[in-house]
Amino acid sequence: MAVTGVLSFTLEIPDLASGVAFYTDAGLVADVEGTTARLRCPGQDRDSIVLLGGAPTKRLHHVALRVDSLSGMTDAVVRAGGTVVAAPAAFCATGLWVSDPHGMLIHLAEHAADIALAEVAAFQVNAPARLVRKSRSAMLPSKSYSTAKPLRLGHVLVFTPDVLASVAFMTDGLGMGLADRAQDVIAFTCARKDSDHHVIAFAKSPGIGFHHGSFMVADPDEVGRGGRALVDKAKRGDWGFGRHTIGSNFFHYIQDPWGSWFEYYSDMDHIEDHDHWTPTNYAMADSLANWGPKVPHDFVHNYEVDPNGFKPQQIAA
């Protein structure tokens, strides 16, 4: 009984149309029915984001995590300080719905395996005394490239008033592993076998809330190219192109219509077996990035505890 990955996140939002526009501009495919929008990666057979329109402000409704088995999960959740709760009205009653020690709702589901990703061409980098790409250009003219194609939701980052308590719940209650952390301010948890460096991460805040969902793309070029294209379409603030220290992934974040973030990522560290991984407690200097542009002033601001504070940064057309 353990979490093996993230399935989706569900947000309550005020204006469904602006949410659908933002995520379809990012490359997701939308299915809208009434006040609910479901978004999935092209080529996937399941949803990665659910938007519930008509709320007064944006709020994280729940995160859905994939588990290998629910056997023994109820006892482990309760022992770790969580609560088993009823499925919210109109949501799937299968699986296990739990509330973590801070009231964040999590849906645990034994979901079928995803469609396998197709192998992409190697991202080749010529280096001193290591020439791997000869007699051809790496780059085509910029107009040759199609729009970014999100391949799968890799991780979500959420806010919590107590990062280490949230990590303890994920490890003791849900069978996950601590990948790395930076003091008690940000921490990253992974599945214990064959996992991206992080599946769900936590940042310190006065309350719970959604920070970002991160989608894998083919390579670092697509992170940078897709990020720039989404900034141009959405006219929102951004942070990137850059590279994280923790997890090593290349990133580009674009602010969503409610002050939280969407991330494209590529080349994340992979944890094959958490029993053979040693978590590092990084200094705060490495908590956000190894290199990249200046961090936006509100990058780690939780607008769910400050709903009137968000002033969208409109980018000139």
Contacts with Fe ion by CB under 5 A lie at: 214, 263
Minimum CB–partner distance for residue 251 and Fe ion (Å): 6
Residue type at position 306: D
* Cα–Cα distance measured from residue 127 to residue 190, given in angstroms and rounded to the nearest whole number: 32
Q: Cβ closer to Fe ion: 108 or 156?
A: 156
Cα–Cα dist 52/59, whole Å: 10
CA–CA dist 187, 163 (Å, integer) = 7
Report yes or no: 109 and 73 within 8 Å, Cβ to Cβ.
no
Tell whether omega for the bond before 241 is within 30 degrees of 0, i.e. cis: yes
Residue placing its CB nearer to Fe ion in the complex, 62 or 198: 198
Q: Which is nearer to Fe ion, 98 or 208 (CB)?
A: 208
**Which positions ≥6 away from 194 have C-beta within 8 Å?**
270, 271, 272, 273
- The minimum distance between CB 6 and Fe ion, in angstroms, equals 11
Q: How far is the CB of 155 from Fe ion (least distance, A)?
A: 6
- Choice between 263 and 304, CB closer to Fe ion: 263
Closest CA to 48 of 215, 227, 252, 250: 215
The smaller minimum CB distance to Fe ion, of residues 97 and 253, is found at: 253
We find the least distance from the C-beta atom of residue 263 to Fe ion, in angstroms, to be: 5
Q: How far is the CB of 270 from Fe ion (least distance, A)?
A: 15
Q: Identify the CA nearest to 177 among candidates 235, 185, 187, 256.
A: 187
How many CA atoms within 13 Å lie on the side-chain side of 33?
4
Please say which residue, 172 or 267, places its beta carbon nearer to Fe ion. Answer: 267
Least Å distance, CB 239 to Fe ion, is: 11
- Whichever of 25 and 263 has its CB closer to Fe ion, that residue is 263
Residue 11 or 98: which CB sits closer to Fe ion? 11
3 state SS of 167? helix
Angle at 43 between CA 243 and CA 147, to 5 degrees: 50
> Which DSSP category does 90 fall into?
T
Kindly state the smallest distance separating residue 181's Cβ from Fe ion, in Å.
14
Across the beta sheet with 238-243, the strand order is 238-243, 250-255, 261-266, 209-216, 152-160, 200-204, 186-190, 177-182, 281-282
Whichever of 174 and 200 has its CB closer to Fe ion, that residue is: 200
Least CB distance to Fe ion at residue 275 (A): 25
Q: How many other CB atoms sit within 10 Å of the CB of residue 234?
A: 21
CB 170 to Fe ion: min, Å: 16
User: Contact 259/301 with Cβ under 8 angstroms?
Assistant: yes
State the residue number with the nearest CB to Fe ion: 214
